[in-house]
Amino acid sequence: MVRERRHSRRGRPSPTRQVEAITQPLHQIPVYELLDASALDKIHQVSMEILSEVGILFMDDPESLAILREHGVRVEGELAFFTPTQIEHYVTMAPSEFTQLARNPARSLVIGGKHMCFAPVYGPPFVADRERGRRLGTLQDFRDFVKLAYLSPYIHHSGGVIVEPTDLPTPTRHLDMLYSHIKYSDKPFMGSVMSAGNAADSVKMVEIMFGSEAIRQQPALISLINISSPRRLDDRMLSALKVYARARQAVIITPFILSGAMGPAAIAGTLAQQNAEALAGIAFAQMIEPGTPVVYGSFQTNVDLQSGSPVFGSPESQLALYVSAQLARRYHLPFRSGGMFASAKIPDVQAGYESIMTMLPAVLARVNFVLHAAGWLDGGLTAGFEKFVLDCEVLGAFHTLLRGIDMSENGFAMESIRSVPPGGHHLGTPHTLRNFRTAFYRSELFDYQPSEAWEADGAHDAYERAHERLQQLLASYEAPPLDPALDTELQAFVSRRKAEISG
Amino acid sequence: MSDEINIQELPIEELFELMQEDLYDGLADEVLEEVNEALARGLQPFEVLTQGLVAGMDIVGKDFRDGTLFVPEVLMAASSMKSGMTVLRPLLIETGAPKMGTAVIGTVKGDIHDIGQNLVSMMWEGAGFEVTNIGINNSVEDYMAAIEAHNPEILGLSALLTTTMPYMKTVIDALNEAGIRERLTVLVGGAPLSDAFAEEIGADAYCRDAAVAVDTAKKFMQIRNEAA
């Protein structure tokens, strides 16, 4: 009658997913290849024709033109013409995968290969939530999004300009954003690309964190260099690109194409143009610093040619996404695309459909770095708080999809199959009892209740439930520990730079 | 606090508390041991049932509704309850203890989907009901025979198919014709049903899930007992 005292499960906290519990997903399912090899080669050939005959503009930056000339590129005015041999020579120098450092080493991320990672929305000037509606973003909003990204086990990266903190002065707000990423999260983050000075500040801050030698071995920043399509790199992006490449920090070279306006009203042509633009930027980065980690980026959809507005989740953008991923793989480069894109203004049915229309292809195509994976609304003009929380639920489901099927003995569960009579049930077999918590992904926000129970609970829709969750998440947030000496040094740097910039 | 416990030395409140915890965790052997210990101390079987097992299952039901417990855990708790009942049931009859209630449940003719009703059976048993589960594909005659044999207060009718739902009304009409409808509480369940359907066919209530089936059965037993 004497037995060991044990602790009952009763009263244990309900099993919520912890930040620590889930790591960066590996793509363990087949990759969706939309085009066959000869069709893909055709796109490559046309993009070589664009590069060698039509050219890419390197705008308002004589130094960049000089670098191109030094490396044998034919330059006419500001137009650069690359030969296929030059492209191949320089693009091959880029690593096929690399690790981005996080201040918590357990959260460092592999970018490339079979690895995927999800990062928050980037760039919106507005934020929206159910209570306060749409308004200009502030530093407080920015910090709240950093906290939400930190709290979600399904967001692996803290991102960059999650929302523009419009309450701060433009010339110094990058410092507040960078510091907030470091202070309120321990996940990797993105550098500022607004100017060479901003890029240099970003590099300096990660040098303070990791040491200047360590970040040359493995980048601590990944930054978004957009190509201002069609066929144009501007001085702002070029100057940031040069700073990052010289510091061996990772850059994502992303043509920004809304087909019909910034690309032709045709998918194959858009892909050829995008490929030419991305490869030109990538080759240029390797001319500056061979081996600099780069990501082949794609931000592509089309305009609605009736109204001129961008369309998100269009079937054409899905087709293009699959092929863009194939192209990046062809050149052995990590790939960035995708996201939970929506034109919808609130997280409604439209937002859900639109978002999944791009996110599912992003998963099946194996996008290594998914920017805008949570929070995107309003064509990218608004960062939605509830949208962010809801998107994370779907990202969780994709983590399970990416693992594929468990083909082990436990995966077949023959003991369960043998033990249940015809027409019986598996709900109580030993196998089910061992596996029930992890066997199937369970959204914590989606409603699976019987209709009557849902009505009795107040008939809340997903938007309302997400709003409640949002309050709980922000209330539960605790900052990850930050070494006080490092914190002081970072704050001193920010103060000094603010004083210098404000003059 | 020592790392070992001797259940023979536990005060009675703590013994009941332990019984409830072990029931919650689905530990059938431990629950049985604690039931035997309580009886050995001279406690009435009815006390052990209500203060130990039923009280424990109440917590299980509540945590299931709140989403803390998963279906397999509830099943384990119910089956631990069942193992305690193997000892208690004959003693309850012997001592003439008041019954929590008697129920007959089965799926209607044409319907072989019984996973839901099996869960309801388990949960009713967990709440202390005496349950006879007559299985699948039952005709009016099957129900009549079971009512004759077990004299239940509660009759549960289950259907998953919209095509077999109307047979529930056939059963209830037959009860009316036989003049025994009034002495039975008829509860219906199954995914395509609704409160409106239950009312339309003359059932007492629709139970949307196993937890609600327990609450509803208890509520009707209370009404019956107060009326008696």
**Span B37-54, average pLDDT:** 94
Q: Where are the alpha helices (DSSP H) in A71-112?
A: 84-91
Alpha-carbon radius of gyration of chain B: 19
B30: closest CA among B69, B79, B71, B74? B79
Residues B38 and B127 in one domain: no
Residues B22 and B41 in one domain: yes
In a domain, B67, yes or no: yes
Q: Where are the alpha helices (DSSP H) in A211-266?
A: 214-217, 235-246
Say yes or no for a CB contact (<8 Å) between B21 and A10: yes
In a domain, B4, yes or no: no
Identify the pLDDT of residue B193.
94
Peptide bond preceding B166 in cis form (omega within 30 of 0): no
Residues B150 and B216 in one domain: yes
Q: Encoding tokens for residue A123?
A: 């760039």
Per-residue pLDDT of A200-228, as tens digits, reads 999 999 999 999 999 999 999 999 999 99
Give the domain-ending residue among B94, B121, B154. Answer: B94
What is the distance between the alpha carbons of residues A499 and A440, in angstroms, rounded to a whole number? Answer: 54
Strands in A56-58's sheet, in edge-to-edge order, are: A74-76, A79-81, A56-58, A232-233
Instruction: Among B8, B57, B70, B83, pick the best mutation site for testing chain A contact (most A Cβ within 10 A).
Output: B70
Nearby residues of A227 by Cβ (< 8 Å), 6 or more positions away: A233, A237, A253, A254, A255, A256, A277, A278, A281
Residues B69 and B89 in one domain: yes
Residues B153 and B223 in one domain: yes
Number of separate helices (H) and strands (E) present in chain B: 10, 6
Residues B125 and B90 in one domain: no
Identify the pLDDT of residue A23.
84
Q: With 60 as the cut, is the pLDDT of residue B2 above it?
A: no
Identify the pLDDT of residue A21.
60
Q: Report yes or no: B125 at the A interface, CB cutoff 8 Å.
A: no
Residues B78 and B125 in one domain: no
CATH number for the domain that contains residue B145:
3.40.50.280
| Cα separations in angstroms, A113 against A395, A448, B18 | 19, 36, 53
Give me the interface pTM, i.e. the ipTM. Answer: 0.82
Per-residue pLDDT of A58-87, as tens digits, reads 999 999 999 999 999 999 999 999 999 999
Identify the pLDDT of residue A17.
47
Distance to chain B for A475, nearest Cα, Å = 21
Identify the pLDDT of residue B93.
86
What is the distance between the alpha carbons of residues A116 and A363, in angstroms, rounded to a whole number? Answer: 8
Distance to chain B for A464, nearest Cα, Å = 19
Burial of A456: CB neighbours in 10 Å, binned 0-12, 13-18, 19+: exposed
Give the domain-ending residue among B94, B125, B145. Answer: B94
Amino acid residing at A158: S
B67: containing domain? 9-94
Q: Encoding tokens for residue A243?
A: 């700073």
**Span B82-90, average pLDDT:** 90
Residues B67 and B88 in one domain: yes
In a domain, B1, yes or no: no
Contact B187, B123 (CB under 8 A): no
Residue A460: half-sphere exposure toward Cβ, Cα within 13 Å: 14
Per-residue pLDDT of A8-20, as tens digits, reads 777 665 554 444 4
What is the distance between the alpha carbons of residues A444 and A442, in angstroms, rounded to a whole number? Answer: 6
In a domain, B187, yes or no: yes
Per-residue pLDDT of B55-83, as tens digits, reads 999 999 889 888 889 989 998 998 899 88
Q: With 50 as the cut, is the pLDDT of residue B1 above it?
A: no
Identify the pLDDT of residue A342.
97
Give the domain-ending residue among B77, B94, B111. Answer: B94
Contact A476, A391 (CB under 8 A): no
Residues B200 and B111 in one domain: yes
Residues B195 and B109 in one domain: yes
The mean of the pLDDT values for chain B is 93
In a domain, B198, yes or no: yes
A11 chain-B contacts, CB cut-off 8 A: none
Identify the pLDDT of residue B79.
87
Q: With 90 as the cut, is the pLDDT of residue B219 above it?
A: yes
Count of the separate structural domains present in chain B: 2
What is the distance between the alpha carbons of residues A275 and B194, in angstroms, rounded to a whole number? Answer: 57
**Span B174-200, average pLDDT:** 96
Spans of chain A, pLDDT less than 70: 1, 11-22
Between strands B185-189 and B205-206, the pairing is: parallel
Identify the pLDDT of residue A366.
98
Per-residue pLDDT of B121-171, as tens digits, reads 988 988 889 999 999 999 999 999 999 999 999 999 999 989 999 999 999
What is the distance between the alpha carbons of residues A366 and A323, in angstroms, rounded to a whole number? Answer: 11
Domains of chain A and any CATH numbers:
18-404+441-503 (3.20.20.480)
* Residue among A423, A450, A452 whose CB faces B112 most closely: A423
CATH number for the domain that contains residue B86:
1.10.1240.10
In a domain, B110, yes or no: yes
Residues B82 and B107 in one domain: no
A392: closest CA among A163, A152, A147? A152
Q: Encoding tokens for residue A260?
A: 């019909």
**How many interface pairs between A and B have CB atoms less than 8 angstroms apart?**
67
Residues B208 and B106 in one domain: yes
A5 chain-B contacts, CB cut-off 8 A: 1-5
| Cα separations in angstroms, A151 against A180, B158, B201 | 15, 44, 51
Sign of the CA dihedral with A323 first, then A325, A326, and A328 last: positive
